[in-house]
A and B are shown apart, each in its own frame.
Chain A
Amino acid sequence: MRTTTRTRAVALAAVVTLGASALAGCAEDAEEPGASSGDGGGRTTLTVGVFGVFGLKEAGLYDEYMRQNPDVVIKQTSIERNENYYPQLLTHLGSGSGLADIQAVEVNNIAEVVATQSDKLVDLGKTPGVAESSYLDWKWRQGTAESGATVGLGTDVGPQGICYRKDLFKKAGLPTDREAVGKLWAGDWGKYLAAGRKFQEKAPEGKAFVDSAAGVMAAVTGSYAERYYDKDGEVVYKSNPRVKEAWNIASDFATSGLTAKLQQFQPTWDQGYANGTFATVSCPAWMLGYIKTKAGEQGKDQWDIAQAPKPSNWGGSFLVVPKAGKRTEEAAKLAAWLTAPEQQAKLFAEQGSFPSASAAYDLPAVADSKNAYFGDAPIGKIFAEAAEGAPVQVLGPKDLIIAQNLADVGMLQVDQKGKSPKEGWQAAVKAIDNALDQ
């Protein structure tokens, strides 16, 4: 008898649960769907969808906005990795549902979003309080569609320096002062390679000059205007001498044994920081926090930052407002506020994300900023110089895929599997050809 009772209870529960969830569906169906809705107090809830730690929340910007606008509640959705975030964003845009009121877009995806999704996005250029002149010119243009609508407002950019370990440089007989280090390779990526060779001659056992060949390649590529696409939107990476130069320099690093043979953003890379197994890494502004966390206490006072051989940019993001949202006007207002120079300066001070609003560079929070972990380096000055010197990059819709395959397929084979640069290049080209072919 006990058995039967229990089975009955289980079955009953099943039916009840199913019924309940179906009913819940009906009930909620009747309501206004969509990500944003008003709550009981008549307040407006705005949602912001970001990937990774975007920093807006962490820097206290939401709290500040909510204090200034007591009728607004801001909630954030975050997905750890852009590779998961971006396809989902596209799916949601395609169906016009499941979207947050404001969505973040990574720079490597912005060209594709602007080209294919701009009809689904609000033109933020017309939002009151948004002034084109306060942004870096190139950042503004990247977020603007052919129709002239500015659908993406720039948040941060990724001007790069070279982070280096003073202790390892000293042991290898290289200068440790950041001005002198900067002069070692100023103006020429080839000099960076030469410095590496010099370092490796006297380097302590088991220490490499640079973390990965792919990191070098990304930095070199980032210092040129044309990378994978030309101005007419043609894919030119195969014949572009700049890309070839970056490839060759990075290959030289790998084949000369100057790298620690790591892959960036993998646990092994983190461990390399923790154990100080490499002396330099090209570091965009947003990476300083990363290094600090990963290298930890032992790396304190060892790391410093110098100018890169050439001004270069790596990474950065945008905010877009989907038209499918219920409160696009309020959302646009919030997006404009979040990307205004003052807020970007705060973001930099708190999170290290470097402003794309050039008007922020003169604000004391940026101009006088120093980083204690990196030997009090004047990072505001270093990155502002790099940002203003960095070329206006020509972006293309498949930048991310091309960059990723060059790095994670081609260069990684050369660096970690000991394939020849030619084999690596062919493997990368083959993968990219396959990836671009619809």
Chain B
Amino acid sequence: MASEYRSEYRAESEYPAESEYRAAGAGVAVPDVSGADASGAERRARERRSRRYRLDMRWSPYAFVAPFFLFFAAFGLFPLLYTGWASLHRVELTAPGDMEWVGLRNFSRLLDDDFFWNALSNTVTIGLLSTVPQLLMALGIAHLLNYRLRGSMFFRVAALTPYATSVAAATLVFVLLFGRDYGMINWALGLAGFGHIDWQNGSFASQLAVSTIVIWRWTGYNALIYLAAMQSVPADLYESAALDGASRWQQFVHVTLPSLRPTILFTCVVSTIGAMQLFGEPLLFNGSAGASGGSDHQFQTLGLYLYEQGWVNLHLGRASAIAWTMFLILLLIGAVNWLVSRRLLKNEGAAS
């Protein structure tokens, strides 16, 4: 029953407005006809107005998206295309203008590139280690923040402060905290009777440490996004659900979560993209040792490998190919994500 309310709510809000617009346009045309007895000048003025109105109606959507796409073409599309072109060449950063056509070699060589596969698997592992707990925790925290609280403002602002810290500053602190011999975390582990963990060299340990930085910076941010969405769930949905005897947990599952779905989808997409492009944290976590991501490349992500190829090894062409591969992988994930959520929507539509 709760879902009934919801689908109604969605139907109202998600319906494309075009039909409404057409109706509105027709509505304007009506007085045009009925005003046949009005003076000629007045009619002409009205016609002009309505023509302008139709033009407005037709073209304003483009005008609205134009500023974004204008900047996008210059500062987004051009670099993207250039990078695509470069990926088909042998280009070195020492002479970016000097290109030698190699076809798809930069892509095909990735198949046997152990460093690429290693980076891909690290990216996925760190992505899961950081994204899943982060979003679940954020959901829980948002739910708690949604209660009426003393000092709620304090909690909300405090939850966002990690986000205000730059990656550089945050990673610097965490490198100190995760220090092998004198770091505070190992010190605390020592007090609790555990041995020291080599956070930088251990494969899983280092991935966990990098994930921790990500989780720390983003949980509060996502909690706030969820909170904002929770606040906009209409109270009557809860009321009617409660009238039907739904428990708090059932309300959470059947009212809160479905209402949050666009938001959850949104955060999932954004976090997945962020995880796929993870770069600053593993770079700086390695201190001075460059972009290798540890002696065994144990926390080298795709973003870091791309950086190493382009900015350390100076192979622009190879780096471009990695960038485009990352881009294509993300598109693939996006497509799967879209298909799945569409499927879910359909199923639920059938169920209700």
Determine whether A and B are in direct contact in the complex, meaning some CB atoms lie less than 8 angstroms apart: yes
Known: A267-B179, A435-B313. 18 other contacts (CB 8 A): A83-B288, A83-B290, A90-B93, A90-B94, A94-B95, A112-B94, A116-B92, A263-B287, A266-B287, A266-B288, A267-B287, A268-B179, A271-B181, A275-B181, A401-B312, A401-B313, A408-B289, A409-B295
Q: Which residue of chain A lies nearest to B295 when distances are taken between CB atoms in the complex?
A: A412
- For residue B20, CB closer than 8 A to chain A, the reply is no
Asked whether, in the complex, the Cβ of B292 is within 8 Å of the Cβ of A408, the reply is yes
Asked whether, in the complex, the Cβ of A87 is within 8 Å of the Cβ of B179, the reply is no
Write the nearest CB–CB distance from B308 to chain A, whole angstroms: 8
- For residue A371, CB closer than 8 A to chain B, the reply is no
Asked whether, in the complex, the Cβ of A417 is within 8 Å of the Cβ of B287, the reply is no
Write the nearest CB–CB distance from A436 to chain B, whole angstroms: 8
Asked whether, in the complex, the Cβ of A408 is within 8 Å of the Cβ of B295, the reply is yes
Name the contact of B97 in the complex, choosing from A94, A277, A404, A436 (C-beta under 8 A).
A94
Chain A 391-414 per-residue mask, 1 if CB under 8 angstroms from chain B, else 0 = 000000000010011001100110
- For residue B314, CB closer than 8 A to chain A, the reply is yes
Name the contact of A265 in the complex, choosing from B288, B311, B315, B318 (C-beta under 8 A).
B288
Name the contact of B114 in the complex, choosing from A91, A404, A430 (C-beta under 8 A).
A430
List 5 A-B residue pairs with CB atoms under 8 Å apart, sorted by A's residue number.
A90-B93, A90-B94, A91-B93, A112-B94, A268-B179
Chain A 425-438 per-residue mask, 1 if CB under 8 angstroms from chain B, else 0 = 00100110011111
Q: Which residue of chain A lies nearest to B106 when distances are taken between CB atoms in the complex?
A: A438
Write the nearest CB–CB distance from A194 to chain B, whole angstroms: 27
Chain B residues with Cβ under 8 A from A438's Cβ? 90, 92, 315, 317-318
Asked whether, in the complex, the Cβ of A417 is within 8 Å of the Cβ of B288, the reply is no
- For residue B180, CB closer than 8 A to chain A, the reply is yes
Chain A residues with Cβ under 8 A from B323's Cβ? none
Asked whether, in the complex, the Cβ of A416 is within 8 Å of the Cβ of B295, the reply is yes
A293 to B175, CA, bound (A): 20
Chain A 56-85 per-residue mask, 1 if CB under 8 angstroms from chain B, else 0 = 000000000000000000000000010100
- For residue B324, CB closer than 8 A to chain A, the reply is no
Binding site for A on B (CB under 8 A): 90, 92-97, 113-115, 175-176, 179-182, 198, 200-201, 287-292, 295-297, 308, 310-315, 317-318
What interface size band does chain A fall in? 35 or more
Write the nearest CB–CB distance from B54 to chain A, whole angstroms: 26
Chain B residues with Cβ under 8 A from A409's Cβ? 292, 295-297
Asked whether, in the complex, the Cβ of B180 is within 8 Å of the Cβ of A417, the reply is no
Q: How many A-B Cβ pairs are below 8 Å?
A: 93
- For residue A328, CB closer than 8 A to chain B, the reply is no
Q: Which residue of chain B lies nearest to A277 when distances are taken between CB atoms in the complex?
A: B181
**Contact (A434, B92) CB under 8 Å given A409-B295, A416-B201:** no
Write the nearest CB–CB distance from B37 to chain A, whole angstroms: 39
**Contact (A271, B93) CB under 8 Å given A408-B292, A408-B295:** no
**Contact (A266, B289) CB under 8 Å given A83-B312, A87-B311:** yes
- For residue A97, CB closer than 8 A to chain B, the reply is no
Asked whether, in the complex, the Cβ of A413 is within 8 Å of the Cβ of B296, the reply is yes
| A13-65 interface with B by 8 A CB criterion | none
Q: Which residue of chain B lies nearest to A404 when distances are taken between CB atoms in the complex?
A: B290
Chain B residues with Cβ under 8 A from A430's Cβ? 114
Chain A residues with Cβ under 8 A from B115's Cβ? 431, 434
**Contact (A416, B312) CB under 8 Å given A112-B94, A266-B287, A408-B295:** no
Chain B residues with Cβ under 8 A from A434's Cβ? 113, 115
Write the nearest CB–CB distance from B231 to chain A, whole angstroms: 17
Chain A residues with Cβ under 8 A from B287's Cβ? 263, 265-267
| A260-291 interface with B by 8 A CB criterion | 263-268, 271-272, 275, 277
**Contact (A90, B314) CB under 8 Å given A116-B94, A408-B295:** yes
Chain B residues with Cβ under 8 A from A200's Cβ? none
Q: Which residue of chain B lies nearest to A412 when distances are taken between CB atoms in the complex?
A: B295
A102 to B349, CA, bound (A): 68
Asked whether, in the complex, the Cβ of B296 is within 8 Å of the Cβ of A417, the reply is yes
**Contact (A271, B94) CB under 8 Å given A405-B292, A413-B295, A416-B295:** no
Chain B residues with Cβ under 8 A from A431's Cβ? 115, 292, 297
Write the nearest CB–CB distance from B81 to chain A, whole angstroms: 18
Which of A90, A91, A112, A268 lies at the interface centre, i.e. has the most chain B CB atoms within 10 A of its CB? A268
Which of A94, A112, A267, A427 lies at the interface centre, i.e. has the most chain B CB atoms within 10 A of its CB? A267
Chain A residues with Cβ under 8 A from B94's Cβ? 90, 94, 112, 116-117
